[in-house]
Amino acid sequence: MEVAELATALELCAGGGAGLNAEHRAAMAAALPLLRCHYRFERVRFWGCIQAVRGAYYITEGCGLDRAAPRSRLYSFDCVEWSLLPLVTEEMLADTQQLQGRFWGDPSFEYEYPEINAEDPERLSEDIKEQRIKEEVRLVATIEKIDREVGIIPRGAFVKTPLGSVHENRSFEGLSLMEATKLRSYFHFTEPVNLKNKTLLEKADLDPSIDFLDSLEHDIPQGSWKVQLEKGGTVVILWSLLWPGLTFYHILNTKQYGYMYFGTGEKNLDLPFML
């Protein structure tokens, strides 16, 4: 969400008690237009906050005309001075897979963990190497994982052109009350996986310009989303139980929607045993 929607988004996503104080809200409202102008973003939004042992990382995202293109991410400790994060790679995601626990709060802090080459079991002890990863890399990898796994949009909010680029749908007028309570009305805004496995018969009723993403209907584990209507049935709120702290909101029959994350950056790996 941009500056005009920031106050509304913070109000709707603060159901768990998290949010920004008055000082950070004022700084964020001033920072978003400056970041958009400085980095020449088409749109820039406040992504959320990852709470660390020492302080917190405040995150913003910027994108261009093609919404499916890689997004630029920036972090700050005070919402005033911002630093650009490196672009995430698949290697970063793989290297940070086994890192667990709280963030420390220092981008230059290095995590150490053993890298084991198990090709030759007899030389297992000789092939153990210490690998170091900076917290800055873990931070951008965690943001990417959250966006891929629980970053969602309403159905119809974006359209895919014949050339493959993705743009905002100008004719999108929001979801109705009946549609808003169904998980199939929301899509993961990332490269589809389940869609590719569908048969031609299953794809026959889909609109290729709109239904080009995976819906939440078949998310694993089942029950990883909590849906609730608020404000007299005019707003729908979705909470992710897989990544606690992720809140999505949508004001029905309007173009206003978005999500924010306020948490520690830790995935709930025990969720399948809790449902």
The reply to whether 153 falls in a domain is yes
Mean per-residue pLDDT, 244-254 = 95
pLDDT given for residue 49 in this prediction: 95
Could you tell me the pTM of the whole model?
0.90
Residue 114 pLDDT exceeds 80: no
Burial code (b: 16+ CB inside 10 Å, e: under 16) for 44-65 equals bbbbbbbbbeeebbbbbbbbee
For residue 94, what are the domain limits? 3-265
Residue 66 pLDDT exceeds 70: yes
Handedness of CA 103, 108, 112, 113 (dihedral sign): positive
pLDDT given for residue 196 in this prediction: 72
pLDDT given for residue 38 in this prediction: 93
The reply to whether 86 falls in a domain is yes
CB-based contact 80:27 (threshold 8 Å): yes
The reply to whether 168 falls in a domain is yes
Task: Give tens-digit pLDDT for 129-153.
Answer: 678 899 999 999 999 999 999 999 9
Give the count of domains, the chain. Answer: 1
Task: Give tens-digit pLDDT for 152-187.
Answer: 999 999 999 888 889 999 999 999 999 999 999 999
CB-based contact 254:246 (threshold 8 Å): no
**For residue 120, what are the CA distances in angstroms to 18, 94, 95, 123, 128?**
49, 22, 21, 6, 12
- Type of residue at 35: L
With a pLDDT cut of 70, the percent of the chain lying above it is 91
Rounded Cα distance between 24 and 46, Å, is 12
The reply to whether 85 falls in a domain is yes
The reply to whether 273 falls in a domain is no
The reply to whether 95 falls in a domain is yes
Task: Give tens-digit pLDDT for 198-238.
Answer: 766 666 778 888 988 999 998 988 899 999 999 899 999 99
The reply to whether 199 falls in a domain is yes
Residue 124 pLDDT exceeds 60: no
Rounded Cα distance between 116 and 256, Å, is 48
The reply to whether 274 falls in a domain is no
Rounded Cα distance between 8 and 247, Å, is 13
Mean per-residue pLDDT, 8-15 = 83
CB-based contact 44:62 (threshold 8 Å): yes
